[in-house]
Amino acid sequence: MTQKIDTLCVQAGYQPKRGEPRQMPIIQSTTFKYETSDQMGRLFDLEDAGYFYTRLQNPTNDMVAARIAALEGGVGAMLTSSGQAANFFACFNICEAGGHIISTSSIYGGTFNLLDTTMRKMGIDITFIDQEASDEEFEAAFKPNTKLLFGETLTNPNVRVLDIERLAKIAHKHGVPLIVDNTFPTPVNCRPFEWGADIVTHSTTKYMDGQGVQVGGCIVDSGNFDWMAHADKFPGLCTPDASYHGLVYAEKFGKAAYITKCTTHLMRDLGSIQAPQNAFYLGLGLQTLHVRVARHCSSAQTVAEFLQNHPAVKWINYPGLKGDKEYERAQKYLPNGSCGVMAFALKGDRDYANRFMDALKLITIETHVADCHTCILHPASHTHRQLSDEQLLEAGVAPDLMRLSIGLEAPEDIIEDIKNAIAIADNK
Ligand SMILES: *Cc1c(COP(=O)(O)O)cnc(C)c1O
């Protein structure tokens, strides 16, 4: 990386030339003009690069995607309408009916449902495995039709740290890529490609946007996975695509084969494009990402230390805490801080937890996480309520777990709110 991440946040993806707007422009247009029929034809054959219809590509989206690709250190990126769409496309781009996916079990509830329900219905087989399982247990999960290994750098809502380097080695030994959802740390705190991950996904709805104003997602391609070396596993990338006159992605686009197919195939057919207006907001958010993430982390550290020492707290997961069982691993992968999210439980029953949450004033109850407002959620009664108790435990979500996302307010005020709410819960 030539420039520091702070500079890339502000400048990557858009450098105006003489007389052009200083701010990234919003190209609010469905279509683009050409002079000759032949010019247009060559775009449809993927012979020339260029814009023709915003369902596939839009200049504003591409500038923002290029910024995220630079931040992650990838060869290319594509924006999607949501984080869900990003994770679906990232998997479906290389795994179709008859294929098999191995995923760590402690992942975001929405992704768990996507894999376990919808992708199963599409004829894709899924194996969930504890991310702390031994190498041998992981190895045993692989089948001849396995196409990818999936995990989250920092799990939502448990805030566990993925051992990316170990999982990348296991995946590569079996000739498949490691896909990592890097939503919580953002590339400011962790760049999974540096540890061997091949594809990174994001819900840009979270810290990247940071203000809680728009839902979006992104897929970034490292360009490092050698598809042709495993051509039998990845026919979509390594054999002729009849819908583009027999073009072979891995031959034609080399290192950018995977991300190009995401756009020209999946976006073309499934159309979950991010609106250019939303991409513009995302670009604004990215400009301050490095400043905000550092503050989220320092405030979260202060609040986590307060909770760790409070007699009403039963347990807390925050990898920045000395004494957390993953502190050492966090120092390796996330030396500058993890994220602003923590998981904890209070001593007392479900009623007590509800009295506590209802008594909070500054901290709001929200189905959201990782933006500038501090918020709290009880996954068992909110985001994960579709899961049975058994599935909850399989996903590593304790029924008493509360997810607390520290925003950009003063940490003293956040702590004061928690203190008051505990006092109210104690007195009924
Ligand atoms: C929120 C989230 C998603 C889903 O993203 P949406 O933008 O809500 O569709 C996926 N992964 C993680 C880790 C998330 O936190």
Q: Whole-angstrom Cα distance, residue 30 to residue 280? A: 16
* pLDDT over 80 (residue 381): no
Which numbered atom of ligand 1 lies nearest the CA of 154? 13
Taking 80 as the threshold, does the pLDDT of residue 385 lie above it? no
Q: How many residues does the chain have?
A: 428
Phi-psi sector, 223: left (phi>0), alpha (psi -120 to 50), beta: left
Ligand 1 and 183: CB distance under 6 A:
yes
- pLDDT beyond 70 at 375: yes
Interval between CA 243 and ligand 1 midpoint (Å): 31
Radius of gyration of the chain from Cα atoms? 22
Q: What is the pLDDT of residues 169-218, one digit of tens each?
A: 999 999 999 999 999 999 999 999 999 999 999 999 999 999 999 999 99
Q: Whose CA is nearest to atom 1 of ligand 1?
A: 203
373 or 46, which is more confident?
Answer: 373
Q: Whose CA is nearest to atom 2 of ligand 1?
A: 203
pLDDT beyond 60 at 1 = no
Q: Is the peptide bond before 311 cis (omega within 30 degrees of 0)?
A: no
Q: Does the beta carbon of 105 lie inside 6 Å of ligand 1? A: no
Is there an atom of ligand 1 within 6 Å of 317 CB?
no
Does residue 83 contact residue 216 with C-beta atoms inside 8 Å?
yes
pTM of the model: 0.96
pLDDT for the residue 3: 94
**Distance, CA of 218 to CA of 113 (rounded, Å):** 19
Q: Is the CB of 217 under 6 A from ligand 1?
A: yes
pLDDT interval class at 391 (50, 70, 90): confident
Residues 6+ apart with CB under 8 A from 383: 109, 110, 157, 367, 377
- How far does residue 203's CA lie from ligand 1's centre (Å)? 5
Q: Which of 219, 258, 233 is nearest to 145 (CA)?
A: 233
Q: What percent of the chain has pLDDT over 90?
A: 87
Specify the DSSP element, H or E, that contains 69.
Answer: helix 59-72
Could you tell me if the CB of 150 is within 6 A of ligand 1?
no
Tens-digit pLDDT profile for residues 99-136: 999 999 989 989 999 999 999 999 999 999 999 999 99
Q: How many whole angstroms from 363 Cα to the centroid of ligand 1? A: 21
pLDDT at 13: 97
Ligand 1 mean position, distance from CA 423 (Å): 33
- Tell me: the pLDDT tens digits for 145-166? 999 999 999 999 999 999 999 9
The least confident of 48-57, 228-237, 324-333 is: 48-57
In angstroms, rounded to a whole number, what is the distance separating the alpha carbons of residues 234 and 248?
Answer: 11
Q: For residues 89 and 11, what is the distance between their CA atoms, to the nearest angstrom?
A: 27
Q: State residue 2's pLDDT score.
A: 80
Tokens 């915003």 locate to 54
Contact indicator for 225, 56 with CB cutoff of 8 Å: no
Helix (H) or strand (E) holding 42: helix 37-44
Q: What angle do CA 407, 293, 368 make, to 5 degrees?
A: 45
> Whole-angstrom Cα distance, residue 340 to residue 211?
14
Query: By the 8 A CB rule, do 202 and 68 touch?
Result: yes
Q: Order of strands across the sheet with 100-104?
A: 76-80, 217-221, 199-203, 178-181, 146-152, 100-104, 125-129
Residues 414 and 362: beta-carbon distance below 8 Å: yes
Contact yes or no for 154/161 (Cβ under 8 A): yes
What separation in Å is there between the alpha carbon of 22 and the centre of ligand 1? 31
Burial call 144-173: b when 16+ CB within 10 Å, e when fewer:
eebbbbbbbbbbbbbbbbbbbeebbebbbe
343 C-beta neighbours (distance < 10 Å), count: 22
d(CA 276, CA 281): 9
| String of DSSP letters for 348-396 | S-HHHHHHHHHH-SSSEE-S--SSSS-EEE-TTTTTTTTS-HHHHHHTT
* 290 Cβ closer than 6 Å to some ligand 1 atom: no
Share of the chain above pLDDT 70, in %: 99
Task: Determine the pLDDT at residue 393.
Answer: 78
Tens-digit pLDDT profile for residues 291-313: 999 999 999 999 999 999 999 99
Q: What is the mean pLDDT of residues 409-425?
A: 97
Q: Give residue-wise pLDDT tens across range 243-280.
A: 888 999 999 999 999 999 999 999 999 999 999 999 99
